[in-house]
Structure 1
Amino acid sequence: MNFRVLLVCMGNICRSPTAEAVLRHYIRNHRLGDKVEVDSAGTHGYHVGEAPDARTQRAARARGYDLSQLRARKVARQDLDYFDLILAMDRTNLDNLQRMASLEQQGKIRLFMDYAKNFEDDEVPDPYYGLGYGFDLVLDMVEDGAQGIVDELLSRLR
């Protein structure tokens, strides 16, 4: 059984590629790589084809995650059919995804932070316009949420 997860933020250059790299890392570590597919996208096409933000890459690299091969893309309607779980990094992008989705697709769209165990926040803040510290906070939140996703996948797929 293959399970497909899509991680979504606005431009697909900070939060969602970070979440993609972290979740892929955790999935590999739990030997779920042949059972789970992970991708990321943005609700807006501002950065299509671009690599993740340099600050995002730097913060991720400091923790052992490589985002250099990822490229931004925009969510397509067929993604809503293809993926089993679609996780928005914040409420604005959740709303955008829900507006795109049919009634049948609504149930697979959730907030990424629904899976976090150590953070009360329901949104991963966008660090793009902030000062440098936001990228480490995003990584802390994404690592927490990714571990929760892996825990759920382990119970579903084993």
Structure 2
Amino acid sequence: MKTYSVLFVCMGNICRSPTAHGVFQHKVHALGLGHRIQVDSAGTHNYHPNSPPDSRSQAHASRRGYDLSRLRARQILDADFEVHDLILVMDWDNLALAQSESPPRHHPKIRRLTEFCESHDSPVVPDPYYGGERGFEEVLDLVEDACEGLLRHVQRQLG
């Protein structure tokens, strides 16, 4: 049986990418597809190794029914470019860094998460780390929208 693997990437892997990881994983499991779709997240920088997601990200996600508490930050590895079918970055800097760290043959699988948005029109998922509460809500709005489109895309890939 065919499987598909998605990796979400931001800078430190404590705000945006774990939020996307948690939201997408929740949606995958709600459809009973956890055995066919693997979900992971990583950061372009190793700022917070093995740390849980930012408490603000966890609190905002929890209010919408997503549990991020078991996720832990890690840096993207060379092996990630080999094993994942799709690597979704949160912004232009993440895109440039991921592409610079990966062999050119893997560049087509590195895309921006917001390419999958169906309702929102944003080129990136902005970093909420230094902003206020509204930033974490905006991240969730964009991530939820993109994850719906992403789920349809992955289901088509699985056949």
TM-score range, shorter chain: over 0.9
Instruction: Give 1:62's aligned amino acid.
Output: R
- Residue aligning to 2:26: 25
- Residue aligning to 1:38: 39
Distance, in Å, in 2 between the alignment partners of 1:78 and 1:152 is 23
- Residue aligning to 2:114: 113
1:48-95 residue CA offsets vs partner (Å, 9 max, x unmatched): 110000000000000010011110000011111111100001010000
**What is the root-mean-square deviation in Å for CA atoms of aligned residues?**
0.7
Alignment of 1:119-130 (within 5 A): 119-130=120-131
- Residue aligning to 1:77: 78
Structure 2 runs not aligned, ≥5 long: none
Instruction: Give 1:15's aligned amino acid.
Output: R
Q: How big is the shift at 1:133?
A: 1.0
Distance, in Å, in 2 between the alignment partners of 1:24 and 1:80 is 20
TM-score, scaled relative to structure 2 = 0.97
Distance, in Å, in 2 between the alignment partners of 1:58 and 1:46 is 21
Distance, in Å, in 2 between the alignment partners of 1:106 and 1:19 is 21
Paired residues, number: 158
Q: Does 1:98 align with 2:99?
A: yes
- Residue aligning to 1:10: 11
Q: How big is the shift at 1:156?
A: 2.1
Structure 1 runs not aligned, ≥5 long: none
Instruction: Give 1:13's aligned amino acid.
Output: I
Distance, in Å, in 1 between the alignment partners of 2:154 and 2:81 is 19
Q: How big is the shift at 1:28?
A: 1.1
Instruction: Give 1:30's aligned amino acid.
Output: L
Distance, in Å, in 2 between the alignment partners of 1:5 and 1:127 is 22
Distance, in Å, in 1 between the alignment partners of 2:74 and 2:120 is 28
- Residue aligning to 2:136: 135
Instruction: Give 2:122's aligned amino acid.
Output: D
Distance, in Å, in 2 between the alignment partners of 1:64 and 1:52 is 15
Q: How big is the shift at 1:2?
A: 1.2
Runs ≥4 residues deviating over 3 A: none
- Residue aligning to 1:86: 87
Distance, in Å, in 2 between the alignment partners of 1:156 and 1:103 is 22
Q: How big is the shift at 1:151?
A: 0.8
